[in-house]
Amino acid sequence: MKKALGQIVVSLTLLLSAATCFAGGGSDMAPAPHQDVQLNPISMTEAETLVGKEGVYFFDVNTLELWAEGYIPGAIYFNVKDWKKLLPENKDTVMVFYCANRLCNASEIAARAVMKLGYTGVRHMYDGIYGWRLANRVTEKP
């Protein structure tokens, strides 16, 4: 009994010390960075009304594997090194950015980067492709 209790105590001690070693990524605590560019959200319902409309761009900022599973019809795969070449010339063009779901922030980062270039029609769909699929909306595959 004493041996088992000793092993439990040692295991818990090791587990707790390991958890504190990795918490926070090893850097000092600091405030979260302030985003100077606010996103313009779009609901899936509103985004669905824009699918297929001329002059509206959908940009999928997912991994290539997730892209291959299906994307919003007509969406352009955005997760490439030369993504600036994908942008339209007209800076007022409506562009909808999305990634996987509300936990993914790749599309937020991409949308903010595009807005910093002076584009004004940038929209962000927080529910992403998983929300789109869960709502039984149409997708395409490459």
Q: What pLDDT was estimated at residue 27?
A: 66
Task: Judge whether 68 lies within some domain.
Answer: yes
CATH code of residue 59: 3.40.250.10
Q: State how far the Cα of 8 lies from the Cα of 10, in Å rounded to an integer.
A: 5
Q: What pLDDT was estimated at residue 1?
A: 63
Task: Judge whether 3 lies within some domain.
Answer: no
Residue type, 50: L
Strand partners, 56: 94
- Per-residue pLDDT at 129 exceeds 80: yes
Task: Judge whether 130 lies within some domain.
Answer: yes
Min mean pLDDT across 9-18, 25-34, 99-108, 129-138 is at 9-18
Task: Judge whether 43 lies within some domain.
Answer: no
Q: State how far the Cα of 91 lies from the Cα of 28, in Å rounded to an integer.
A: 39
Over residues 62-73, the pLDDT tens digits come to: 999 999 999 999
Q: State how far the Cα of 83 lies from the Cα of 77, in Å rounded to an integer.
A: 9
Domain that holds residue 122: 53-80+88-135
Count of domains for the chain: 1
- Per-residue pLDDT at 16 exceeds 60: no
Q: State how far the Cα of 70 lies from the Cα of 46, in Å rounded to an integer.
A: 20
Task: Judge whether 31 lies within some domain.
Answer: no
Task: Judge whether 2 lies within some domain.
Answer: no
